[in-house]
A and B are shown apart, each in its own frame.
Chain A
Amino acid sequence: MSNLWLVARREIAIRARTRSFVVGLLVTAVMVAGVSFLPRLFGGPDSFTVGLVGSAALEPAVKTLAQDVTVTFRRFPDEAAARAAVTEGDVDAAVVDNRSLLADGEVQQSLGALLKSGHQVVQTEERLRAAGLDPAKVAEATRVPPLQEVSVSAASGDAGVRAGVATVVVLALFFLLMSSVMQVAMGVVEEKGSRIVELLLTSIRPWQLLGGKIVGLGVLGLVNLVVVIVAGLGSALAAGLVADLPPGMAGIVAGAVVWFLLGYAFFAAMAGSLGALVSRQEEVSSVLTPMMTLMMAAYFVAFFAVAQPTATLARVLSLIPPFSSMVMPVRMAATEVPLWEVALAAVLMVLAVVGVLLLGARIYRRAVLRTGARVGLGEVLRNG
Chain B
Amino acid sequence: MLEAQGLRKRYGAKDALRDVSLSLRQGEMFGFVGANGAGKTTTMRIIMGVLEADEGEVRWQGRPLSFDDRRGFGYMPEERGLYQKMKVGEQIDYFGRLHGLTPAASAAATGELIERLGIAERRNDRVEALSLGNQQRVQLAVALVHRPTVLILDEPFSGLDPIAVDALAEVLAERRSAGVPVIFSSHQLELVERMCDSVGIISAGRMVAAGPVEEVRAREGRRTLKVVVRDAVPGWADGLPGTLTTEGDRQTLTVTEGDDQSVLGAAVRAGRVEHFGWEQPTLTEIFREAVA
A and B together in one complex: yes
Query: Which A residues have a C-beta under 8 Å from some C-beta of B?
Result: 3, 6-7, 10, 14, 194-205, 369, 371
Task: Chain A residues near B99: list those with CB within 8 A.
Answer: 203
Task: Chain B residues near A369: list those with CB within 8 A.
Answer: 50-51
Q: Is the CB of A202 within 8 A of B81?
A: no
For residue B45, which residue of chain A has the nearest CB?
A198
Instruction: Give A344 to B235 CA distance when docked, in angstroms.
Output: 103
The yes or no answer to B48 lying at the interface (CB within 8 A) is: yes
Q: Is the CB of B81 within 8 A of A197?
A: yes
Task: Chain B residues near A202: list those with CB within 8 A.
Answer: 48-50, 70-71, 73, 75
Q: Which residues of B46-78 are within 8 A (CB) of A? A: 48-51, 67, 70-71, 73, 75, 77
For residue A194, which residue of chain B has the nearest CB?
B81
The yes or no answer to B194 lying at the interface (CB within 8 A) is: no
Task: Chain B residues near A371: list those with CB within 8 A.
Answer: 79
Partner of A195 from the list B81, B97, B98, B142 (CB cut-off 8 Å) is B81
Tally of A-B residue pairs with Cβ under 8 A? 50
Interface 0/1 of B78-106, CB less than 8 Å to A: 01111111100000001101110000000
Partner of B86 from the list A3, A6, A14 (CB cut-off 8 Å) is A14
Partner of B98 from the list A3, A194, A197 (CB cut-off 8 Å) is A3
Task: Chain A residues near B80: list those with CB within 8 A.
Answer: 195
Q: Is the CB of B98 within 8 A of A203?
A: yes
Given A14-B86, A199-B142, does the pair A6, B97 have CB atoms closer than 8 Å?
Answer: yes
Q: Is the CB of A198 within 8 A of B95?
A: no
For residue B83, which residue of chain A has the nearest CB?
A196
Task: Chain A residues near B82: list those with CB within 8 A.
Answer: 194, 196
Given A200-B98, A203-B98, does the pair A195, B79 have CB atoms closer than 8 Å?
Answer: yes
Task: Chain B residues near A204: list those with CB within 8 A.
Answer: 98
Instruction: Give A277 to B86 CA distance when docked, in angstroms.
Output: 24
Query: Which B residues have a C-beta under 8 Å from some C-beta of A?
Result: 45, 48-51, 67, 70-71, 73, 75, 77, 79-86, 94-95, 97-99, 142
Instruction: Give A39 to B73 CA distance when docked, in angstroms.
Output: 63
How many Å from the CB of B81 to the closest CB on chain A? 3
User: Can you add 16 more A-B contacts, CB < 8 Å, to A195-B81, A198-B81?
Assistant: A6-B94, A6-B97, A7-B98, A10-B94, A194-B83, A195-B79, A198-B77, A198-B79, A199-B75, A199-B81, A199-B95, A200-B98, A202-B48, A202-B73, A203-B70, A369-B51
Partner of B84 from the list A10, A194, A197, A200 (CB cut-off 8 Å) is A194
Given A202-B48, A205-B67, does the pair A195, B94 have CB atoms closer than 8 Å?
Answer: no
Task: Chain B residues near A203: list those with CB within 8 A.
Answer: 70-71, 95, 98-99
Task: Chain A residues near B51: list those with CB within 8 A.
Answer: 369
Which residue among A6, A194, A196 has the maximum number of chain B CB atoms within 10 Å of its CB? A196
For residue A18, which residue of chain B has the nearest CB?
B85
Instruction: Give A70 to B86 CA distance when docked, in angstroms.
Output: 58
Instruction: Give A196 to B135 CA distance when docked, in angstroms.
Output: 13
How many Å from the CB of A323 to the closest CB on chain B? 36
Instruction: Give A369 to B84 CA distance when docked, in angstroms.
Output: 19
Instruction: Give A369 to B67 CA distance when docked, in angstroms.
Output: 16
How many Å from the CB of B220 to the closest CB on chain A? 33
Instruction: Give A196 to B50 CA distance when docked, in angstroms.
Output: 12
Task: Chain A residues near B98: list those with CB within 8 A.
Answer: 3, 6-7, 200, 203-204
Instruction: Give A198 to B94 CA distance when docked, in angstroms.
Output: 15
Q: List 7 A-B contacts (CB under 8 A).
A: A10-B94, A198-B81, A201-B50, A202-B71, A202-B75, A203-B70, A203-B95
How many Å from the CB of A148 to the closest CB on chain B? 62
Task: Chain B residues near A205: list those with CB within 8 A.
Answer: 67
Instruction: Give A191 to B291 CA distance when docked, in angstroms.
Output: 36
Instruction: Give A371 to B71 CA distance when docked, in angstroms.
Output: 22
Instruction: Give A199 to B49 CA distance when docked, in angstroms.
Output: 11
Task: Chain A residues near B71: list those with CB within 8 A.
Answer: 202-203
Given A202-B48, A202-B73, A203-B99, does the pair A196, B81 have CB atoms closer than 8 Å?
Answer: yes
Instruction: Give A203 to B94 CA distance when docked, in angstroms.
Output: 11
Instruction: Give A6 to B98 CA distance when docked, in angstroms.
Output: 7
